[in-house]
Structure 1
């Protein structure tokens, strides 16, 4: 009898504790996962949370595998706090326990985010039918708790597309090519093998994202040959690359190409290696 009374009291107090929780999550009908970005530059898997905002997992082109998660709230945090991220079992999986995945920092007027390791863990939990859920105190009413859950409904198909997109990302980023030094063969406007490879990377990137705000092209030569000849050769090299960028869809008004000939050597012209370093074009690109 005492055990029954204790159980009833426990259920009562649990109900009282739940009364102050505002829960946000998509139900079976409203749950929607979609591949918002699907390119070789960025992949974004998004999930709408009714009356709350949007959850997003995203990965970008880079030398290293990366992943981030952000919880885009309609109402941003009004002060600093911590949210507990738990993997919660759905109602149709009785007996499966919840467990903590991480703590997420909430900064005033900033969209909260989580790093790669936690983001991948959340995706893994969703794949297994668990619901990553965020719990924190309401910053407008400390007596209320907020619960924000990611629904597993309609997740699998969108997730498979997302994984395919991530596997097809470029293995370099804009930052890897935004400042590039190209070298030339002697007395020629033909690239060395390594520079030709670098230019191919730039070409591949521009075919996917030609939106550049500014392109600066500065060409130089070694000191072998006449100064006038070297100046004209450097100008030829700069203009050839300028034409290349225009052909790839860059607005000509955003490109500045200059040839400086023998000026601004970075190595000695007495050695073959030094002259090779001086025969160069420096490309600096900026995005909006």
Structure 2
């Protein structure tokens, strides 16, 4: 291992004179893992620069981001590399494409594919390198080192295993289908609602649910309105049975008025038999008055 460290140092010493490299000394390298049910972060601090971190949100794959205390790298694009380790001669660097350098604390976020390439490289002893060249020939590099990565990545995977199935952007809206002509929740509908319920219980700031029941146009308007009401009520009852207060739920029903697809065939009519569920964060002073109402046009038919 000592020979590897010495070889690594020799490579940095051989960099072009115009290159400015930011990295942490070998003996000071550390990876930290932080997270909760919503996001996990695997971070290596970079001395006198900032940090590089892998971030994985619930429901997504990991990305890599570079953070800086100050704007030490100019704007424009930079090359992202999984650089070969110096103690493995004959291996070239892997070019993972370019990243756009921005301003502020976070200089860039990679794609999920690029982050996957960096992780695979680190597992193989490679270093994530961000190389930025200016028009006058100056080169800046930011380098993370693979030292202690394997154990830290195992801890990171342990955090990832506890993430929720989806993040708020993914879970905040859902269409609960009733492909049959009834009003009962089928297993697929219950599975969707269970994911939403799990998120609500994990995030107390999500404190209101909007339900909008719909039907196809198979029956008359009064019948369709009643079907849409009973479907919305089935979803409300699911939430209530699992600990959500009725005061947190607003329920409306619209009959056939708002189809997702033209009611021209059986498949489209099945799509229109649904309850739209929307999760919201509502401040205490803004909370709507719970209600169970038909849409104005549907009500006019009664």
Q: 2: distance between equivalents of 1:47 and 1:251?
A: 43
Question: Aligned pair in 2 of structure 1 residues 179, 102: CA closer, same or farther (>3 Å)?
Answer: same
Q: 2: distance between equivalents of 1:44 and 1:67?
A: 9
1:86/1:134 contact within 8 Å kept? no
Give the C-alpha shift of residue 148 in structure 1. Answer: 1.3
Give the C-alpha shift of residue 87 in structure 1. Answer: 0.8
Q: 1: distance between equivalents of 2:252 and 2:231?
A: 9
Q: 2: distance between equivalents of 1:282 and 1:15?
A: 62
Match of 1:129 among 118, 125, 128: 125
Alignment of 1:277-288 (within 5 A): 279-285=273-279
- Count of matched residue positions in the alignment of Structure 1 and Structure 2: 266
Alignment of 1:56-205 (within 5 A): 56-62=53-59, 66-76=61-71, 77-89=73-85, 93=87, 95=89, 97-109=91-103, 111-137=107-133, 142=136, 144-166=138-160, 174-175=169-170, 178-183=173-178, 188=183, 190-205=184-199
1:38/1:44 contact within 8 Å kept? no
Q: 1: distance between equivalents of 2:250 and 2:54?
A: 38
| Larger of the two Rg values belongs to structure | 1
Match of 1:45 among 39, 42, 47: 42
Give the C-alpha shift of residue 96 in structure 1. Answer: 6.3
Tell me the equivalent position of 1:24. 22
Q: Deviations over 1:18-58 (max 9, x none)?
A: 3x33322122443221222253x543222211221121212
2:132/2:140 contact within 8 Å kept? yes
Q: 2: distance between equivalents of 1:252 and 1:131?
A: 53
Give the C-alpha shift of residue 180 in structure 1. Answer: 1.5
Give the C-alpha shift of residue 72 in structure 1. Answer: 1.7
User: Which residues of structure 1 form unaligned runs of 5+?
Assistant: 1-13
User: Which residues of structure 2 form unaligned runs of 5+?
Assistant: 1-12, 283-302
1:42/1:61 contact within 8 Å kept? yes
> Is the partner of 1:89 in helix, strand or coil?
coil
TM-score, with length taken from structure 2: 0.65
Q: Deviations over 1:193-213 (max 9, x none)?
A: 332232223223434445437
